[in-house]
């Protein structure tokens, strides 16, 4: 079962992130396997790190990717060495959406939340999306999900996500994050401070919000269409991106289309009247600014710091690297 509205928003926005003398991470020595015909596997180095600096102070940024090859083992020694010489690790930006209720009472809302995942008035996908999109959905659903009838009553944004996750599992790709668990473990091992960039949202009356959302129609047809297009025509590109990340080919990552449907799907939720009233409309910008403020402090106070962010966000003209450069920092690509 998929999480409720509150968790879906939080997960979507989340998306919305050493040697004594040298600050350059040591090169890996292990043998790296060649690229397989479809998706790489075995031990792989992952990409190098961007160097953000001002004077003698450096922030190393690792670009992360989802999905990645399902059967690869990430050779994380370079990153671990960088963390070991760091004074601070910056978490990817996140959104925490909570309530004033205790855990037990919050859990009692889950049945209502799951109902809110369904279309208002129990309409089916056939009834709420254009006929041509539904005709494209059927063979993809049959291939990746199977005969599950429950998903046919889900809102397009949630049905699309269910299909996308199923397609990744069938394509030797994994949506499971492999970077942060290692980063957190290494930081704790070397007693390195971990700094959160978190925007906390409080919902005082979640039951009323869920009831309101259950009767709200979302403008999520574009999200549904974008997700179908990615699965129909972008699986090979996603494999190529996953391969490029695994072997550390930054130029290939930069050249390949990013094709991320999450922003379109996120807008479908955050543009709703309910989300706007809760203040979700500008969350992406708020989490970016929270992270940038922490990066400024880290670069001012620490000789070496480390961070990880989605690689697609690093490539954007208005992304994190562009904003850091506009602040006067020197940026060096891997």
Q: Which helix (H) or strand (E) holds 38?
A: none
Give per-residue pLDDT as tens, 267-318: 666 666 666 666 666 777 888 999 999 999 999 999 999 999 999 899 999 9
Residue among 148, 147, 155, 87 nearest 118 (CA): 155
pLDDT top residue among 107 and 98: 98
pLDDT digits (tens, 9 = 90+) for 19-68: 222 333 433 333 333 333 346 666 788 889 999 999 999 999 999 988 88
Q: Are 112 and 214 in contact (CB under 8 A)?
A: yes
Q: 73, 170 in Cβ contact below 8 A? A: no
How far apart are the C-alpha atoms of 157 and 155, rounded to whole Å?
6
Least confident of 9-18, 106-115, 266-275, 316-325: 9-18
pTM: 0.78
User: Cα–Cα–Cα angle for 63, 68, 73, nearest 5°?
Assistant: 95
pLDDT on residue 35: 37
At 50, is the secondary structure helix, strand, or coil?
strand
Which tokens is 179 given?
């970077």
């Amino acid at each position: 079962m998929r999480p409720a509205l509150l968790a879906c928003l939080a997960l979507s926005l989340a998306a919305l992130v050493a040697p004594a003398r040298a600050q350059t991470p040591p090169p890996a020595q292990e043998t790296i396997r060649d690229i397989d015909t479809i998706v790489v596997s075995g031990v792989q180095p992952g990409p190098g790190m961007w160097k953000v600096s001002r004077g003698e102070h450096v922030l190393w940024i690792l670009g992360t990717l989802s999905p990645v090859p399902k059967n690869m083992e990430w050779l994380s020694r370079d990153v671990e060495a960088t963390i070991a010489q760091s004074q601070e690790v910056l978490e990817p930006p996140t959104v925490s959406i909570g309530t004033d209720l205790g855990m037990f009472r919050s859990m009692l809302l889950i049945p209502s939340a799951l109902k809110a995942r369904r279309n208002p008035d129990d309409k089916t996908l056939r009834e709420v999306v254009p006929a041509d999109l539904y005709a494209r959905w059927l063979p993809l659903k049959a291939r990746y999900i199977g005969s599950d009838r429950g998903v046919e009553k889900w809102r397009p944004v949630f049905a699309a996500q269910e299909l996308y996750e199923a397609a990744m599992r069938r394509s030797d790709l994994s949506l499971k994050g492999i970077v942060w668990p290692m980063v957190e473990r290494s930081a704790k091992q070397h007693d390195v401070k971990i700094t959160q960039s978190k925007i906390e949202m409080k919902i005082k009356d979640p039951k009323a919000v869920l009831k309101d959302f259950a009767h709200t129609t979302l403008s999520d047809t574009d999200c549904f269409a974008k997700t179908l297009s990615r699965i129909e025509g972008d699986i090979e590109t996603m494999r190529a991106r996953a391969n490029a990340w695994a072997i550390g080919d930054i130029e290939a990552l930069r050249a390949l289309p990013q094709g991320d449907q999450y922003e379109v799907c996120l807008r479908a939720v955050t543009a709703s009247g309910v989300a706007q009233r809760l203040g979700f409309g500008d969350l992406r910008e708020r989490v970016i600014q929270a992270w940038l403020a922490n990066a400024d402090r880290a670069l001012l106070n620490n000789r070496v710091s480390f961070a990880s962010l989605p690689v697609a966000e690093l490539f954007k003209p208005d992304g994190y690297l562009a904003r850091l450069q506009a602040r006067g920092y020197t940026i060096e690509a891997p």
